[in-house]
Amino acid sequence: MPFSPTRSLRAASLALPALALALATALLGGPASADPHTAAAGTLPCDLYASGGTPCVAAHSTTRALYSTYSGRLYQVKRASDGATRDIGALGAGGYADAGAQDSFCAGTSCLITVVYDQSGRGNHLTQAPPGGFSGPAAGGYDNLAEASAAPVTVGGHKAYGVFIAPGTGYRNNHTSGIATGDQPEGMYAILDGSHHNGGCCFDYGNAETNSRDNGNGTMEAVYFGNIKVWGYGTGNGPWVMADLENGLFSGVNPGYNANDPSVSHRFLTAIVKGGPGQWAIRAGNAQSGGLSTYYSGPRPNAAGYNPMKKEGAIILGIGGDNSNGSAGTFYEGVMTSGYPSDATENAVQANINAVGYTAPAPVGGLTPGARVSLRATTSCCTGEYLRHDTADSNAAISAVSSASSSADKGAATWIVRAGLGDASCVSFESADKPRQYLRHYDFRLRLDTIDNSAVSRQDATFCPQAGHTGQGVSLRSANYPGDFVRHYEHAAYIAGDGGSHAWDAAALWADDTSWAVTAPWA
């Protein structure tokens, strides 16, 4: 629908009483509900956007319903052990995700998120991104899918999971309904993990080209989050919330630097981009508390091709418009609207997000940076054996360690936990007896190595802890191969998937071999 100031003003005036009531309700956290899994009517983000005259035309979340009346599917997971799929829904109308259903279905194996369902009723679901101008890493050029348990979170007091985007991972829908095209007005927000980002191109959520290629300036409009400085950037070292408008990440009216776009690092971040004829804005805030700040609001960029816009109406998550997929980030929820939302509507949505109470989970297994630990195998064959480096060739393996072992063996089986070298939301393991050398994978084998500043080596040395696949200890997911976990196999150590082309991917005992007990350090 073409933008009409008269129509928009009329819609806004008709919606003001409802919006005022919704805002007041959101600020107070909503009236009490008889069902603790559900929200009060009219208080959730898409209710608020509708009250403001700018209804949602896409609504994606793996953590909760975004309409107070929605009780359907949120996302789908696929199990590695047998390829079976299961839809994960809300616990009731306006409710939180049924994470228990995922945990039960994926017990003893790993799962991937195959679909993020659209709650708007328009069928704008997100699935595995196909190859584009920038080809993908998986078979046939398709992007990877997110490991389903990689981003645990608590929302509304309930366990849930976000969408963990490692480099090479991406979702897309090139055949949408109701998404803005050309210069039509739209808005969008995304709740992201402000600690999970990189300088790759491009961690986006929003409007993109329908052929997965770069079709020129102004052919996309999406929220971007990260610290790349190739195009626009803001103050400090990043990360920044910017707008990806194709062939440019913009932080303001001019290409390049915008002093009003600050670095932001909230653990849970609300990021907003909206655009209409001759105008656009960036807004952001702490998703756990407080309001929104406006980092830019004004005319379209001072560069050719962005006024008027030529948006095409596809939807992307975790990638750029041409399928550039070198980025990292975590997505919890987001929507796209028809029409240019008012600041008042967005403020009401932010108040609801604050009231929900996004909370990070406690570190798994005591793997906090600075801790000294040893990692014991839990498979029945090997419960006296520990992950260690081999003093002869630097390869990692498991072997027996006890109080009678030599000091050299004890030192080789002791690790210092560090913030992840390639992703601060995960961890790296520095050798206790060989300072500045870290556990990393190389050609799937684990080894001890000195890590340089290359992105690849730092990602190879980063592992993301989660609850053990057998229900005991921890499992350590590779940060850049999200379907692979640290595993011992015939006493050597690898990163391995549950079933695959390598011998160490064997399904037998995979859950046991990828579960590790975190113990007191041997040295």
**Integer-rounded Cα radius of gyration of the chain:** 23
H or E stretch covering 250:
strand 249-250
Q: Which two tokens stand for residue 200?
A: 């790759």
Burial classification of residue 84, based on how many CB atoms lie within 10 Å of its CB (0-12 exposed, 13-18 middle, 19 or more buried): exposed
Residues acting as catalytic residues? 246, 322
Unique residue bearing structure tokens 């609300």: 270
* Integer angstrom CA distances of residue 504 from 167, 245, 288: 23, 44, 42
- How far apart CA 424 and CA 238 sit, in angstroms, is 14
Burial classification of residue 383, based on how many CB atoms lie within 10 Å of its CB (0-12 exposed, 13-18 middle, 19 or more buried): exposed
Q: Are 157 and 355 in contact (CB under 8 A)?
A: no
Give the chain's count of helices (H) and strands (E).
7, 31
Q: Buried (b) or exposed (e) across 46-83, using 16+ Cβ within 10 A?
A: bbbbbbbbbbbbbbbbbbbbbbbbbbebbbbbbbbbee
Q: What is the DSSP letter of 130?
A: P
Which residues are paired to 516 by β-bridges? 377, 474
Residues 6+ apart with CB under 8 A from 60: 116, 117, 118, 119, 126, 317, 331, 333, 334, 335
Q: What is the DSSP letter of 140?
A: G
